[in-house]
Amino acid sequence: MKDLPYVDFGHTPYEAAFGRADVYGVNGTPERAAKRPLSIAIAGCGGVAQAKWVPAIRRLQTIGEPLAIAGVVDPDEARRQKTASLCAAPAFATLSELLAKTRVDIVLVLSSDSFHVPLAEQAIERGVSCLVEKPLARSYREASSLARLAEERGVLLAAVANKRFSPPYAQAKALIDAGALKDRPTIFTGKFTLGYPYVDLLEGGTVHLLDLLLWFMGPVARLSAQGTFQDDGRLESAVVSFGFVSGAIGTIMTSATGLSFAPWERVEIFGRNAFLVVDDQFELTLHDGEAAPARSWRPSVPNTLMFDESFGGYSGLLENVLDSLRGLATLGSNGCDGAAAIALIDAIRMSLERGAEIDLSIEGLMP
């Protein structure tokens, strides 16, 4: 390919740094300033809220996004007061109290997993849009029901899929869409590992890899899983084989026996005599010819013009959701997308329990 698509790799956009002499990209643009102002509420003030989403909101505000934090919600007083201080926003013990007292355009649901659906339902019933952290729900039945509720009420429901907006994966998708693999994707292989034991392997981690698999390859028709288990019965490791509706095939390996501060994630996607690799959500490499040089994309580290909120995909995802709410963009990850990833988790568990291949259509797991 002569002309390769370009994605900013989490740093100041090229046009801002070199076209407008705005080295940190903080001066905004007339186009951004003209957007409809929106207000956001944070429901759940734990680690992901404080470490990822509050900085993502602040990053967008810094570059001129017309966005205000209407309030924060958490049943734990210490957490909500700390987060309220970080956000310079009022704190509430319940979402119903916040919605009764404050005008909100969208609720960012960041609570513990079992409260994702109840909190999102509260907001949707009041006509308020939602962006829900992964997993969207604890089961496909709950997730699909939530997506139907949002559709019936005419309310935007977005599912967190920040890796879609992380530069290495966004660049990979742009290359594939531009024909860099010389054919549609034919094979997907993926690896996800972690070392800390307190996160559910499928819902808390592998769900990201499953979302990427669906994004790159399309819907899954069938899958088969094998696994090993810890002494307490929790899943320790699994290998899963997939057959896609398109006719493509794939496999993933996921394990809680790895190391969290060592290489932990890898995706390979093959087309026709061409393939690409994304290592650790950091470096993308394209191999597209026997005698051609490999081409790679990676950030320069250290780089004072690189922003974690952008590289992790959080600010890009949030901006997409806000612009979708304004009618300016197509939603990058909706409720049905979130439900599809949960359907794969349910199917993997079925396969492990039954020791058999699972046909998702027969089991009612096709969105």
pLDDT in tens, 331-363: 999 999 999 999 999 999 999 999 999 999 999
pLDDT in tens, 173-220: 999 999 999 999 999 999 999 988 788 999 999 999 999 999 999 999
Q: How many domains does the chain have?
A: 2
Confidence band (pLDDT; 50, 70, 90) for 142? very high
Q: What is the pLDDT of residue 24?
A: 87
Place of tokens 């409260």: 115
- Decide if 350 is inside a domain: yes
DSSP notation for 8-22: --SBS-HIIIIIS--
| In a shared domain, residues 194 and 136 | no
What tens digit of pLDDT does each residue of 48-86 get? 999 999 999 999 999 999 999 999 999 999 999 999 999
Q: Do 151 and 249 belong to one domain?
A: no
Give residue 302's pLDDT band: very low, low, confident or very high (50, 70, 90): low
End residue of a domain, out of 162, 191, 225: 162
| CATH number of residue 92's parent domain | 3.40.50.720
Answer yes or no: is 5 within a domain.
Answer: no
327 occurs within a structural domain:
no
* Dihedral Cα 316, 35, 39, 211, nearest 10 deg: -30
Structure tokens given for 272: 């026709």
Which uninterrupted H or E stretch holds 347? helix 335-354
Residue 319 lies in a domain: no
* pLDDT at residue 68 in the model: 98
End residue of a domain, out of 121, 141, 162:
162
* % of the chain surpassing 70 pLDDT: 98
Instruction: Residue 299: give the domain boundaries.
Output: 164-306+335-359
Same-domain check for residues 205 and 261? yes
- Per residue in 286-297, pLDDT (tens digit) is 999 999 999 999
- Pair 169, 58 in one domain: no
**pLDDT tens digits, residue range 245-262?**
999 999 999 999 998 889
**What would the DSSP string read from start to end of 291-339?**
SSPPEEE---SS-TTB-HHHHTTHHHHHHHHHHHHHTSS--SSBHHHHH
* The pLDDT value given to residue 1: 47
Final residue belonging to a domain, choices 162, 190, 213: 162
Give counts: helices (H), strands (E), the chain: 13, 15
Task: Give 83-100 pLDDT, tens digit per residue.
Answer: 999 999 999 999 999 999
- 157 and 179 belong to one structural domain: no
pLDDT at 284 over 70: yes
